[in-house]
Structure 1
Amino acid sequence: MKLQMNTQNLDCIFEQFRDITLPSHQQEKYHHMYAIPIQSGPGYLQRICLRNGMEINWFDGKLYEPVTFDIGVLYPYLEIAYTLEGRGCWEAAGQTRSYDLSTGVSTLLYIRDEKLHAELSPCERMLHMEIRIDIRYLSELLPEIPNLSYESFFCRQTAGSPHISLIVEQMKRCPYTGTLQKLYLEGKVFELLAYHLDGAAKEEERTQAASKLKAGDIRCLHQAKEILSRTWRQPPGLLELARLVGLNDYKLKLGFKELFGTTVFGYVRGLRMNEARKILEQGKANVSEVAIMVGYHNLSHFATLFRKTYGYNPSEIGKASIFATDQACNTKESVHRRNKPIFFYQKDNL
């Protein structure tokens, strides 16, 4: 599938999709579902309009062939994206680098009068969320976002953040309907935006701090992060890690926090928690098995860290999953819903 278009507002992109909102949901003018013409597999897009110029889109589809998008954005547009499953890449015209779409990666993007090219790779499932904002309706945000007053493009990506993962999880599990659902989700949108903007400001501080580090130290710290990314189930101790990268333990601890905004142990814990949540959501193992799989032999300690990270116990995963398989029944609506993701239709969830 290839999609090419120019957009003047948030509505434009939906002109090429077919609205398949159920009759029983059409009274909810802010909540629509669209069929996306992906010939290689089924694809659905849920659109939740929170206010003028602000909406949440959830894409759920199976891709057996590459899908490409070329979209011109001709207005001031702000987006926060988060990929739960699937992979791809994208780039903006005239920019020197490309950006990944992959599990656990969140993106803060601002663009104005530029073109985007995106490619989604073939995969069993692509599950992706986008918060889309027309800045003309929320112009007060402009001073809070670096370089927007004179730049036409700004992008910052965050990978493996338990806090972002938690907010997205809360949005998926929204316990309200109607007006309360919109109010709750709008609050989560601003919470996620605040977290990204705070991260951008702290990244600028870390960049300044890193400029005080020697180039050789920075290379060693990146090497340490790389080692931890490969060995997080059984990572080396602090002294051993320092020896492996050629730093003393004091410089490793201090430099790692300055450069990456977290401690060595905090980075490992984040990787473990993300993997644990993913395995539990997929139903591949129980809590005790998952704890051991991600490097914890004390189940109570694992459960405590998981609860501190995500705000709920690991045993609660799956009980209110919005992506549960739809149970077959004989109603007309069920026939219409069959083989479609249930979260598009449940009133008590997204």
Structure 2
Amino acid sequence: MPDPHSLSQDDVMHWPSHMGQGATRLCALDDGLLLGVTQGSLHRPTRIASEQPSCLVNLCFVVDGQLGAESESPLPSLRGGAGAAFAWFLPQARWTTELSQCHRLAALDLSVSREFVLAWAETWQLSLPNAWVSAVEGSDVPLIEVGGMPPAMLGHARLLVNQQGQTSMQRLRRESMVLELLSEYLFARVEAQRRTPASCKLAPIEIERALDAASRLANRLQDPPGVNEIAREVGLSGSRLKLAFSQIFGCGVYSYVKALRLEAARCALIEGQQVKAAALSVGYTRAGHFARHFRERFGIVPGRYGG
């Protein structure tokens, strides 16, 4: 990883042709904040080895495709598809990142110094998840967590992936979006912690399978399967999948799909699609039905939304 202070412009690392077509852009934002944006398509699975500096909390937000990471130490792996979010702080740990073969991969990597997290949380009076507190206060303890992005957060991450440009205003816009994404993530983790009784915690395999279900749903918005069908696909019972979605995302499976559809349509409108095309892209065939749901969620009719 390059020194953030040496990046006055985005540093673009293009993938070798044998991997596929794509690149990773690195952008140093505020002091102690480094953003990486990976986009492309992979011809074959690829493994990348790297060493994480001990002074940083590292986060990964998967927008499209599948990826995972494994440490040399005996800790659980981090893996998931669209909608998954990881965070880790492992002093002097070597990591192997596995990128799956896919037509479209998009992910955000965010490296944040402990000092930045503490100062930012104190300034804005933000609560930190329990798993973060010891790590960012200086204790050499592993912080590792796997979670999911609620639909609004996934939509935000998708828009951030496409933010480019080197003017002062464009970089300031990108920085503000990164800070908003970080605050959404911390809030989501604190809320998940609050609503999860100790007696009802999910097993790691259940979290992994629920995130797999969320990723599958994100890729099938035009004709999403029912709860029991998607539960069977990932190897959970319908009741455990509902519990997992409630704990991870704070909503039921149906509500998650509905919100995900509307967020995807919102992103499409921002990117310039016409209302009808945006509605059809997420499975709405009746304009009135789409307009009503869109207005209920965002407070504005779709025809007046977007750029």
- TM-score, normalised by the number of residues in structure 2: 0.66
**Could you tell me which of 175, 184, 205 is aligned with 1:186?**
175
Task: Report the alpha carbon displacement of residue 119 of structure 1 after superposing the two structures with TM.
Answer: 1.0
Instruction: Please list every run of 5 or more consecutive structure 1 residues that lacks an aligned counterpart in the other structure.
Output: 1-9, 16-27, 237-244, 248-252, 321-350
Matching residue of 2:48? 69
**Could you tell me which of 192, 199, 203 is aligned with 1:211?**
199
Matching residue of 2:145? 155
Matching residue of 2:293? 305
CA radius of gyration, larger in: 1
Structure 1 residues 290 and 93, CA, compared in 2 at 3 Å: closer, same or farther?
A: same
Structure 1 residues 110 and 288, CA, compared in 2 at 3 Å: closer, same or farther?
A: same
Instruction: Confirm or deny that 1:267 pairs with 2:223.
Output: no
State the number of aligned residues.
Answer: 273
Q: Deviations over 1:279-319 (max 9, x none)?
A: 98999x975476467564542331343466579876799x9
**Could you tell me which of 8, 11, 15 is aligned with 2:2?**
11
Paired letter, 1:115: R
Q: Deviations over 1:157-212 (max 9, x none)?
A: 214x221123224435659862222322222222111111111111112222x737
Q: Deviations over 1:123-182 (max 9, x none)?
A: 2332222222233555435883433424222223214x2211232244356598622223
Kept in 1, the 8 Å contact 2:14–2:24? The answer is yes
Task: Report the alpha carbon displacement of residue 69 of structure 1 after superposing the two structures with TM.
Answer: 1.6
Following superposition of structure 1 onto structure 2, how do residues 1-350 of structure 1 map, counting pairs within 5 Å? 10-11=1-2, 29-37=8-16, 39-140=18-119, 144-148=128-132, 149=134, 150=139, 151-159=141-149, 161-172=150-161, 178-208=167-197, 211=199, 233=224, 235=226, 261-263=250-252, 265-273=254-262, 287-288=275-276, 291=279, 296-306=284-294
Paired letter, 1:127: A
Between the aligned residues of both structures, percent identity stands at 22
Task: Report the alpha carbon displacement of residue 276 of structure 1 after superposing the two structures with TM.
Answer: 5.3
Paired letter, 1:262: C
Secondary structure of the residue aligned to 1:211 is helix
Kept in 1, the 8 Å contact 2:41–2:103? The answer is yes
Distance (Å, rounded) in 1 between the aligned partners of 2:244 and 2:156 = 29
What do you get for the CA RMSD once the two structures are aligned?
4.6
Kept in 2, the 8 Å contact 1:112–1:153? The answer is no
Paired letter, 1:179: S
Distance (Å, rounded) in 2 between the aligned partners of 1:310 and 1:177 = 30
Distance (Å, rounded) in 2 between the aligned partners of 1:42 and 1:189 = 25
Structure 1 residues 192 and 308, CA, compared in 2 at 3 Å: closer, same or farther?
A: farther
Secondary structure of the residue aligned to 2:48 is strand
Kept in 2, the 8 Å contact 1:46–1:59? The answer is yes
Task: Report the alpha carbon displacement of residue 12 of structure 1 after superposing the two structures with TM.
Answer: 6.0
